[in-house]
Amino acid sequence: MSSSSNIAIFYGSTTCYTEMAAEKIQQQLQALLNIQIPMFDIKDVSLSKTKEFDIILFGISTWDFGELQEDWESSWGDIAGVDLTHKTIALFGLGDQLGYADWFQDALGMLHDEIIVKDCDLVGYWPNEGYDFIASKGLTDDKQFFVGLSLDDENQFEQSDERIKVWCKHLVEHFNDENLVKIP
């Protein structure tokens, strides 16, 4: 593997589920692209570090009644000052579709709303199939897709690995189609 890439993963994680998802995504992408991909916990690294990368994956979880994960909440004001112009962005989120069915993936949608105005290319929308919830801010306007990979390790842990694998393959196809990353 080469020692660096223009891709990075930024995430916030309180209970380690989002961090574990980020690690699985990192492993999948590294294997598919044959490059090293750094990961950054936003608790420890400022979002301003995103300026060093062309492709950025953001991981966020929804807490309780549609609330942001604590590290994202602490950094929320920083998003406005982050320049994502001409960058490619993909989002992934974790939530509990049964315990919080009215707020499933709300934080994912809130992050999407902050980023979509940034003149960047948002990729990695995920089909709204195989989930059981009532409402979500994380859906596209037509309600057919989530605005990023949607994981529920509370109720569908056994499906997460396959969802990550499929999502990462789609991302790599997009990166290759757009000549963002050369696949060896």
Q: Does domain 7-177 have CATH number 3.40.50.360?
A: yes
User: At residue 2, does pLDDT exceed 70?
Assistant: no
Report the C-alpha gap between 124 and 105 in whole angstroms: 15
What is the per-residue pLDDT for 177?
A: 80
Domain ranges of the chain: 7-177
At 10-66, the pLDDT tens digits run 999 999 999 999 999 999 999 999 999 999 999 999 999 999 999 999 999 999 999
How far CA 19 is from CA of 10, 42, 140, 174, 180, in Å, comes to 9, 11, 25, 24, 25
pLDDT digits (tens, 9 = 90+) for 114-143: 999 999 999 999 999 999 999 999 999 999
Cα torsion through 69, 156, 150, 105, rounded to 10:
-50
Dist. CA 35–CA 3, nearest whole Å: 7
Calculate the average pLDDT of the chain: 93
